[in-house]
Amino acid sequence: MPPARSHIRELVTAYLARHPGEHRALAPLLAELDAPSDPTSRATLPGHITCSAVVIDHAGRVLHVRHNASGGLLLAPGGHGGPDDATLMATAVREVHEETGIPPELLRQSAAFCHEPADIGIHAIDADPAKGEPAHHHYDFRFVFRLVPPSVETALQDEEVSAAVWLPLDRVTSPTLREKLLGADLSAAPEPVNASVIIHDGAGRYLLHLRDQREGIWEPGVFALLGGGRAPGDASLEATLLRELGEEVPGVELTGLEPYAVEEATSVDGLRVPVQMFTAVWEGHPDTAGLREGVLLHWCTLEMLDRLPQSPGLGDLIRRHAAQHPPAFTPPKVSRPSADRSPAGTELHVVGVHLYLQDADGRVLLGLRHPDSAYAGNIWHALAGHCEREDAVSCLIREAEEEAGLILDPEGIELVHLVHSQDSPSARPRIQLFFRPWLWSGVPQVLEPDRCVEWRWFDPKDLPENTVPYTRQAIGAIIDGRPYSDMGWTR
């Protein structure tokens, strides 16, 4: 399977946030991401995506190869996507291995750019009548890697490249890449750019996270530790971890957070990734964690580990920690949160707020959910959120600013529809409130790319097929002037 469009869009969005001046040049690429053809396929014209590996050694030099197909130009190793490349970075990792013999285990992501491209170059490619290829262009995603050993022997793929040379930063052959590398802090030696945490309760139980069973994510469908990858702007790996926990489990408040060890894992990009492990204590109930990603959280004992599908090495890691930190007391009886209790004969409801926002042309704003979202992955949905301990209007104002940078005037917000829904007979029913703001400012921005990868305006009478069903129903009811509808109930 080729890399998901949402994955590519997320990379482009993050790149343009750092380089807004390149938006016009990359507009055709953004348009391609909305087209039916695969943007990484050679057959997609007039342009498609390629990927390059920018490998930097301990002396700060960048690996270049003399590409035969380019007429002998010195370029970073790279090429077109392969059928087994789950991500664009995986293409770059595979290409540098094939062309130079440098294996993935000798490369690390750079702390300066992490999983994002340092540069997206645009190359004009001449027509090749012998292959029946017209003139076209490549959008080359350049990913930066640090070489782990001080030096490495190369084994060239003779049919593709004829030489390998290491050039200093100021002699990198691509002007746009050279500018971005010279402007980045590349002083850090290869180091972990991922962080995870061993959360225990001090009584022999460990908090494990069951990940989604989805293609293109790291360690799908298994129990693993909470954590994630460093993002540009994270001051430290501890900051990375705290940011990830705030996004995934905002209700978990740790004590005694400290580094524990560095372990290795294989990422979805094919890299051997050093992961900084932390330890911390939490004694809460998983239902209070506010889980936003994955399937569930669960307290597990050592006796349970062999019965669980788990990430490689997790059992050994937890057993090692347990041997070094024997339980100090008997596990506490942690009750479920009192908020789960409802008076006899009643049923608690989840309250969701939704933004029904129209532009000057009457189009309504929808967001494309990230494919790894816990709810409605890769589906269009209104800007929405769940009420915490707050009133619904305050929740809407907060969510609009946090997710899209929109400022709503609380005096100009009108309730226009309510959907009473139930996903299944065993699921908690929901009250879905749709509000229309009459006074607002701002331009929709992707501020939480792990949840929403794009905002777009649609004709409310011509919504995309992959729209959340109750959102489609609510918009239709608003057009018809109906204040109430329901979904999922049997009569």
| Domain parsing of the chain, residue ranges | 5-182, 194-324, 350-487
Q: What is the CATH number of domain 194-324?
A: 3.90.79.10
Instruction: Tell me how far apart the terminal alpha carbons of the chain are, to the nearest angstrom.
Output: 43
Residue 257 in contact with residue 278, Cβ under 8 Å?
A: yes
pLDDT on residue 233: 75
- Give the number of other CB atoms < 10 A from CB of residue 16: 16
Evaluate the omega torsion of the peptide bond into residue 28 and state whether it is cis, within 30 degrees of 0: no
pLDDT on residue 65: 95
Q: Name 58's Cβ contacts closer than 8 Å, sequence gap at least 6.
A: 147, 150, 151, 189
Q: How many CA atoms lie within 13 A of 380 on its CB side?
A: 17
pLDDT on residue 342: 56
Phi, psi of 351, deg, nearest 5: -105, 120
What is the mean pLDDT, run by run of 10 residues, along the chain of 491 residues? 85 92 93 89 92 95 90 91 91 96 91 90 88 90 93 90 94 96 82 89 93 71 89 85 91 92 81 88 89 88 89 91 82 53 70 94 94 82 89 93 92 94 78 95 90 94 94 96 90 67
Phi, psi of 81, deg, nearest 5: -70, 150
Question: What is the homologous superfamily of the domain 350-487 according to CATH?
Answer: Nucleoside Triphosphate Pyrophosphohydrolase (3.90.79.10)
The span from the CA of 399 to the CA of 391, in Å, is: 12
| Predicted structure pTM score | 0.57
The span from the CA of 318 to the CA of 134, in Å, is: 57
The yes or no reply on domain 5-182 and CATH 3.90.79.10 is: yes
pLDDT on residue 99: 95
Amino acid identity, position 271: L
**Domains 194-324 and 350-487 are alike in CATH topology:** yes
Number of residues that make up the chain: 491
- β-pairing, 119-125 vs 136-147, is antiparallel
pLDDT on residue 272: 76
- β-pairing, 194-200 vs 272-281, is parallel
Structure tokens at 4: 């998901």
pLDDT on residue 196: 94
The span from the CA of 315 to the CA of 296, in Å, is: 18
Q: Name 279's Cβ contacts closer than 8 Å, sequence gap at least 6.
A: 197, 198, 199, 200, 256, 257, 258, 260, 321, 325
